[in-house]
Homo-oligomer: A and B are copies of this chain.
Amino acid sequence: MNWHGHGRRGGSYHHGNLKEALIEAALDLIARKGPAGFTFAEAARSAGVSPAAPYRHFRDREELLASIAQQGFEQFEAALSAAWDDGRPDTPAAFQRVGKAYLAFARDHHAYYSAMFESGLPLENNPSLLVASERAFAILRAASERLIALAPPGVPRPPALMMALHIWSLSHGIASLFGRGDASSRKLPMSPEELLEAGVLIYLKGLGFPTERFAQEPPAAKK
């Protein structure tokens, strides 16, 4: 494996790492102007390269956008997976951590997030994108399954898929409406994390889970 250059131009004719540099430049543009506001030409410019150069690495603008979304889903999966940590130290705590990780990703990597969810890329034409997206969702689903397995006996168990879809929708809704850094975000009388956590607790209670086990703090006094 040969990286040619070293990530910097250094005056050489070959960039060496242009593909990654273009992705980073595009992410920066998306963060500032949204997925529709980034241009191939400007990405090339800020990577310090001629406008024709990107075509060595991406068929066209849309392919670059799809690459970013794909990479985003992979990192998203990794982030959720790390937060889930296979249910350690206990399932409820890990579950709440996943919710927090969801919002954290949407906020801290919101260029990725909007390439993933707001770029209008047709999933039908991007099977590998769909797969990456489903892999990330699979974490939510696995976590839901483990949680459901804890359900007190006698309570009818909801389908894990449905539960995962509810959690996903609530998280995505909160992230979209309140969880961006930018000016189109709405004001809230609490943090998005608090809103999500409260919502999930109420939802879980509705499913018949005992409330106490799911609070963040150990048994502590309930207020």
Tell me the A residues contacting B by CB distance below 8 Å. Answer: 34-37, 117-125, 133, 158, 161-162, 165-166, 168-174, 176-178, 182-184, 186, 188-190, 195, 198-199, 201-207
- Contact partners of A133 in chain B: CB under 8 A: 186
- Other-chain contact of A199, B166, B171, B176, B195 (Cβ < 8 Å): B166
- Other-chain contact of A172, B119, B173, B195 (Cβ < 8 Å): B173
- Contact partners of A123 in chain B: CB under 8 A: 183-184, 186
- Contact partners of A171 in chain B: CB under 8 A: 173
Please tell me how many copies of the chain the complex holds: 2
CA distance in complex: A198, B158 (Å)? 10
Q: What would 6 A/B residue contacts be, using CB atoms closer than 8 Å?
A: A118-B118, A166-B170, A168-B177, A169-B178, A170-B173, A206-B207
- Given A166-B198, A169-B174, A202-B206, 16 other A-B residues pairs in contact with their CB atoms under 8 A: A118-B118, A122-B182, A122-B183, A124-B183, A161-B189, A162-B195, A165-B188, A168-B177, A169-B199, A170-B170, A172-B173, A172-B177, A173-B174, A199-B203, A201-B206, A203-B203
Give min CB distance, A168 to chain B, whole Å: 7
Query: Nearest 10 A-B pairs (CB), nearest first?
Result: A173-B173, A206-B206, A36-B36, A169-B173, A122-B183, A205-B206, A202-B206, A172-B173, A166-B199, A169-B174
Q: Is the CB of B195 within 8 A of A166?
A: yes
CA distance in complex: A122, B171 (Å)? 22
- Contact partners of A169 in chain B: CB under 8 A: 170, 173-174, 177-178, 195, 199
Give min CB distance, A39 to chain B, whole Å: 12
Residue from A166, A195, A207 having most chain B Cβ neighbours under 10 A: A166
Give min CB distance, A176 to chain B, whole Å: 6
CA distance in complex: A36, B120 (Å)? 11
**Closest partner residue, chain B, to A206 (CB atom):** B206
- Contact partners of A183 in chain B: CB under 8 A: 122-125
